[in-house]
Chain A
Amino acid sequence: MTLTVDDLRVHYRTLRGDVRALDGVSFTVADGEILGLVGESGCGKTTLGKSLIRMDGRMRHIGGTVTLDGDDVPVGDDRAMNAFRFHRISLVPQYSMSALNPTRRIGRMVRELLASRGVSVDTGELHRRLALVGLGPEVLERYPIELSGGMKQRTVMVISTLLDPSLLVADEVTSALDVSNQKAVAHALVGLRDRGLVTSMVFITHDLALTSHIADTVMVMYAGRLAEKAPAGVLTTAPRHPYTRRLLAALPEAGVRRSQGRLSGIEGSPPSLLSPPAGCRFRDRCPLADDRCAEQPPVVEVAPRHHVACWKA
């Protein structure tokens, strides 16, 4: 399986104009690859994930193409996308906690969902997959309100992967979990890939340290565009984009205390996506910015599989 996204542009229509949440993003995900996607809150990660499976009514496909194994994925056409959903591309949404139907017990919901797709899944397999993420079969008897945030998140993850999609987009699936469950979920995802059940994955997270452990490649987005993409080890040890460097520098050592020194985030905030300034979008916050950065930097492959959009990289 290969996913190719080429110059994808997706905007949100609002009364004040278009929000350019994805403004020309290109990348590929190879067969068996896990792509980690990170970036500041609001930079367009969820928009990218949703674009690959279901655009909501306010999203507009402005341009660019997506292909999966050579087939055009009709991202702008909700009806035509049905052929791809769940079987070929599946999404674990960011708000999985509120995605569960509150009036159904989990088990009944799973049965209904599978029936609506015209497939059946062996109960033993369902139990086994729940166990992989540390859940007992009794969650099937529970209503969503009776589960904790992290339990709901893990439940949705199991449901979304039941049909073994070729491409799984997992949006913040570990964000509400404690470290041991994060690990269980991360390993379960890698396990699905290793056993060939899910072919490739886009793993969206805000946690760079965690991604670096499970992703083969990490892609950093900034304000609707790609900033840098590289093999996980390279990105975390030899980043070239100033934003990636600052983001890595903001990662704390476990156990730091504010009394020992105040940590600081990256000064300033990302530009508005309603009318983003021309040129490099990181310009206002970039210590290296100069006149040239008033022009948009192209994405350049600076080393094999290492892509950077920065004039100074």
Chain B
Amino acid sequence: MLTLDRVTKTFRTGTFSGSTTTAVDRVSFSVDRGEVVTLLGESGSGKSTLGRMILGLTSVSGGSLTLNGEPVRPGKEYYRRVQGVFQDPFSCFNPVFKADRIFALVKDAYHPRVSAADWRARVEGAVRDVRLDPAQVLGKYPHQLSGGQLQRLLIARALLLDGLEILVADEITSMLDASTRIDVLNLLGDLRERGLGVLYITHDLSLGTYLAESTVVLRNGRIAERGATGKVFGNPLHPYTRHLLAAVPRLGVDWVDAEPVESCLFHGAGADGDLYEAEPDHFVACARLPECEGR
């Protein structure tokens, strides 16, 4: 189980001014094996930063991260168990090498004794699992593949690690059409049944609920609401969550203007990262916390 306890990230912005941005502010939740947790939130709310901290790609400014009770120590052992697929697929590939080099690197690092033929078969299996035709995508350079194809190759890479416990998936379906997206999500669902824990970062509310046992809604680096998916979506309490749900574009339904976040429902909740427990497994923060704190 991956546990986040009041995890915080502060960036220094402006080289000379010494000002800082708190991108993630005292965020606590956990991802268990065999569980999908959806992380939702506005653009710039800290989702990718949180994912990067979990993957050891950026330092943690405060709070703690533990995997099965042990403090997270990024390194080969850790990456065997925790892997990520990133938001920007293009930046994950070295344009000089063929795209399938990412698979060779996994073999060299983690499966050096597997024979070339067996490895080839495993790679092809993983590529088919993400609904790609190995003959069409293997042996090509990154620029020869489409955005959705690159995104799916990265998912396939993560699938090649035996003993993977946690997958951080940052917007991995953002460039896929509805049909392909469902296939990829079903694949994640099957992996979950085999014990994988997934942190599914997304802005796609229509499918954010499809797999997730629990949902975390992030706003300005803080948790606005979290809990069982059915409760968060069925009975959204935080005005921001309601706002998000109302703004989803739907076919044949007017794209309504969601009302702005203003009402203060849970005054003070969230001040130190603690949330108000509205019902079992459903937590919510004060909607106007930053202003309240500022007073």
Contact = CB atoms under 8 A, between A and B. Distances in A.
B97 interface: no
Contacts of B146: 41-42, 46
A262 interface: yes
Given A149-B88, A263-B182, 13 more contacts: A41-B147, A41-B175, A149-B48, A154-B43, A176-B171, A182-B249, A206-B181, A209-B251, A236-B251, A254-B250, A255-B206, A263-B186, A265-B182
B245 interface: yes
A148 B206 CA distance: 22
A151 interface: yes
A258 B210 contact: yes
B42 A178 contact: yes
A266 B146 CA distance: 19
B177 interface: yes
19 contacts: A40-B180, A95-B90, A146-B11, A146-B13, A150-B203, A172-B175, A178-B42, A181-B43, A182-B203, A206-B148, A206-B177, A213-B249, A236-B251, A250-B178, A251-B251, A252-B206, A254-B206, A255-B206, A264-B186
Contact of A210 (B13, B148, B249): B249
A254 B175 contact: no
B251 A248 contact: yes
A256 B250 CA distance: 14
A183 B182 contact: no
Sort A-B residue pairs by CB-CB distance and give the 8 closest, nearest first.
A41-B148, A150-B43, A265-B179, A179-B247, A178-B203, A250-B179, A250-B178, A206-B177
A67 interface: no
Nearest to A152: B88
Which bucket holds chain B's interface residue count? 35 or more
A253 B210 CA distance: 10
B252 interface: yes
A218 B48 CA distance: 32
Nearest to A179: B247
B287 to A, nearest CB: 15
A57 B135 CA distance: 23
A180 B145 CA distance: 30
B168 to A, nearest CB: 14
Task: Name, among A151, A206, A208, the residue most crowded by chain B CB atoms within 10 Å (CB to CB).
Answer: A206
B180 A265 contact: yes
A213 B251 CA distance: 8
Interface of A: 12, 14, 19, 38-42, 46, 56, 58, 94-95, 97-98, 134, 141-142, 146-151, 154, 172, 175-183, 206-210, 212-213, 236-237, 246-248, 250-258, 262-266, 269, 272-274
Interface stretch (B63-71, B75-83, B101-109, B136-144): B136-144
Given A12-B144, A179-B203, A180-B244, A94 B182 contact: no
A272 B136 contact: yes
B249 A179 contact: yes
Contact of A237 (B132, B174, B252): B252
Given A178-B41, A180-B247, A41 B149 contact: yes
